[in-house]
């Protein structure tokens, strides 16, 4: 019989059975039931020689199908258990973070309620006492029922307190005011705020930032100088479509000097200029030329929220330096005294000392240890009041401190030593020698202009970050809340 004839022959009964077995479903209890019913029907037929071993084959097939089904069922059950556990942990972590967020908002509400209180409100406003730096200390009982302090270790458990909720997991909370930073969204206003522009330019002009603009590690295609970068920031925020070109003194030159979208289309960016206020500070990363190194250096000096004046109790070194440089007596749009190295060095030392003042008062332990060791000693700084708990009770104290440092090199050196920026820029050896090597400080400031740009009032806009942890799951909630009105506003909210 030829090959063609063999292929055309009807298959034997055994071959048909094999084909049917091959087509059987391989998993599921329903498949097992069908296979068993099929086997019973086949076995009930009259026995022939070609069915020998069929019972064993069917038994093996049923066991195999059932084993696959059982393994699959066990696997899916295990997966579902883990999915359910992860969903449970995720939900608990979220509500732990939300609890922290709500407690943070409650704490800030309490702060402003105290300031409006007819009995103690005046004291709160005069003392400028703030609750938010104590947030982690004050919220400890909500987790553990314990109030641990660096001194004495007070334990509320001894008085019967057992905490709140008796839950597992934990949450962390941080509250950071946005005042004390330069508001770059002011460039969205109808008329360009030249004072903010000048301060922003001076903030970036320092020699300590040269490495960010001259490094060879940057792609030359995306490399920009300081004025180009500031112009790109203005273009991103303002409402027009023409590029802002700035001269050496950060003054816009003319109107309408090209399309703002040119740098983005030239380098194949998949987005265009926003021409609106920034929603978050992270949008700076999208501005042409603003790389991660620049963001890391300047992000703590900028804000995108409605801040009009610089809060002296919160401003860092770079903001203070730019503020002083832009208000040196004799400054004008086409004259920056800080371009003179002698003036720049004097402003540098004053800014470091004022940064040290802020850092000294920001740590409550510094004041505590000072008064514990000194007994009836006067205020830790000439121009400050004895017992004050913040660096500045009013804006006039800024002028008092400047005069103190101009006339007292010893106190200048003492407070420069508290500045974290000084330890980076000068080093411990140079800081130790400042009392004898500091240049004579003879510069004067436009006090009227300087005081008009600053404030010491309680901050009103806060960034709250709450992180909840349960098991191996972490959820973080971020919000920015404006307390400038009794009905507080959430300016930003995100969870991840």
Q: Which residue has the higher pLDDT, 346 or 211?
A: 346
pLDDT at position 478 is 95
Q: Is the pLDDT of residue 143 over 80?
A: no
CA distance 387 to 296: 36
Q: What is the mean pLDDT of residues 336-361?
A: 88
Q: What is the mean pLDDT of residues 120-139?
A: 82
- Lowest mean pLDDT of 29-38, 65-74, 181-190, 428-437, name the range: 29-38
CA 130 to chain centre: 21
Task: Identify which of 396, 397, 202 has the alpha carbon closest to the alpha carbon of residue 317.
Answer: 202
Mean pLDDT over each residue of the chain, to the nearest integer: 79
pLDDT at position 379 is 74
CA distance 330 to 406: 19
Answer for the pair 446, 326: CB distance below 8 angstroms, yes or no.
no
pLDDT at position 268 is 61
CA distance 94 to 113: 28
Answer for the pair 98, 466: CB distance below 8 angstroms, yes or no.
yes
pLDDT at position 339 is 82
pLDDT at position 33 is 57
CA distance 286 to 295: 11
Q: What is the mean pLDDT of residues 337-355?
A: 88
Q: Which residue has the higher pLDDT, 325 or 335?
A: 325
CA distance 353 to 210: 23
- Lowest mean pLDDT of 350-354, 425-429, 486-490, name the range: 425-429
Answer for the pair 327, 350: CB distance below 8 angstroms, yes or no.
no
Task: Identify which of 248, 270, 244 has the alpha carbon closest to the alpha carbon of residue 257.
Answer: 244
Q: pTM of the predicted model, to two decimals?
A: 0.76
Work out the angle between the directed axes of helices 54-116 and 13-22 (0-180°, nearest 10): 10
Strands 310-311, 454-455: pairing is parallel
Separation in Å, CA 487 to CA 99, 118, 175, 279: 20, 19, 19, 21
CA distance 452 to 78: 66
Q: Is the pLDDT of residue 84 over 80?
A: yes
- Lowest mean pLDDT of 144-153, 201-210, 353-362, name the range: 144-153
Q: What is the pLDDT of residues 269-287, one digit of tens each?
A: 678 888 889 999 999 988 8
Residue 22: pLDDT band (50, 70, 90) is very low
Q: Which residue has the higher pLDDT, 365 or 451?
A: 451
Indicate the domain borders of the chain.
3-79, 182-455
pLDDT at position 399 is 93
Q: What is the pLDDT of residues 416-439, one digit of tens each?
A: 888 888 888 877 777 776 656 666
3-state secondary structure of 313: coil
Q: What is the pLDDT of residues 169-223, one digit of tens each?
A: 888 899 999 999 999 998 887 677 778 888 888 888 877 787 777 654 445 556 7
Structure-token pair, residue 421: 């920026």
**What percentage of residues in the chain have a pLDDT greater than 90?**
21
pLDDT at position 178 is 92
Structure-token pair, residue 114: 């105290």
CA distance 186 to 183: 6
Q: Is the pLDDT of residue 53 over 80?
A: no
């Amino acid at each position: 019989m030829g090959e063609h004839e063999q292929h055309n022959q009807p298959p034997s009964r055994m071959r048909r059975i094999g084909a049917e077995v091959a087509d059987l479903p391989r998993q599921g209890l329903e498949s097992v039931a069908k296979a068993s019913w099929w086997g019973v029907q086949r076995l009930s037929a009259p026995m022939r020689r070609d069915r020998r071993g069929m019972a064993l084959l069917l038994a093996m097939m049923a066991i195999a199908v059932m084993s696959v089904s059982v393994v699959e069922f066990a696997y899916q059950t295990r997966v579902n258990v883990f999915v359910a556990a992860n969903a449970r942990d995720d939900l608990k972590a979220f509500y732990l973070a939300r609890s922290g967020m709500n407690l943070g908002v409650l704490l800030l509400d309490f702060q402003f309620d105290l300031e409006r209180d007819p009995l103690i409100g005046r004291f709160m406003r005069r003392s400028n006492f703030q609750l938010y730096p104590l947030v982690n200390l004050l919220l400890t009982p909500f987790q553990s029922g314990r109030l641990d302090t660096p001194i004495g270790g007070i334990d509320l458990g001894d008085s019967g307190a057992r905490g709140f909720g008796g839950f597992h997991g934990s949450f962390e909370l941080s509250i950071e005011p946005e005042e004390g930073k330069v508001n770059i969204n002011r460039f969205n206003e109808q008329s360009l705020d030249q004072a903010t522009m000048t301060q922003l330019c001076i903030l970036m002009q320092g020699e300590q930032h040269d490495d960010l603009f001259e490094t060879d590690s940057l792609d030359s295609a995306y490399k920009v100088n300081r004025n180009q970068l500031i112009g790109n920031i203005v273009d991103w925020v303002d409402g027009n479509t023409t590029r802002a070109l700035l001269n050496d003194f950060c003054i816009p030159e003319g109107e309408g000097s090209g399309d703002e979208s040119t740098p983005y289309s030239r380098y194949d960016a998949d987005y265009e200029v926003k021409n609106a206020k920034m929603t978050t500070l992270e949008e700076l990363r999208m501005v042409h030329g603003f790389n991660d190194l620049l963001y890391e250096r300047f992000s703590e000096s900028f804000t995108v929220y409605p801040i009009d004046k610089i809060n002296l109790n919160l401003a860092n070194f770079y903001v203070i330096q730019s503020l002083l440089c832009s208000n040196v007596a004799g400054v004008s749009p086409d004259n920056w005294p800080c371009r003179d190295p002698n003036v720049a060095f004097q402003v540098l030392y004053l800014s470091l000392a004022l940064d040290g003042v802020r850092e000294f008062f920001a740590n409550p332990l510094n004041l505590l240890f000072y008064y514990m060791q000194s007994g009836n000693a006067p205020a830790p700084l000439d121009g400050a009041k004895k017992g004050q708990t913040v660096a500045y009770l009013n804006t006039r104290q800024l002028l008092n401190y400047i005069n103190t440092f101009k006339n007292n090199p010893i106190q200048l050196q003492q407070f420069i030593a508290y500045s974290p920026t000084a330890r980076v820029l000068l080093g411990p050896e140079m800081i130790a020698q400042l009392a004898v090597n500091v240049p004579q400080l003879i510069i004067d400031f436009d006090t009227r202009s300087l005081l008009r740009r600053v404030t010491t009032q309680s901050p009103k806009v806060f960034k709250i970050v709450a992180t909840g942890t349960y098991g191996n799951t972490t959820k973080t909630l971020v919000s920015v809340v404006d307390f400038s009105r009794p009905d507080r506003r959430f300016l930003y909210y995100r969870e991840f």
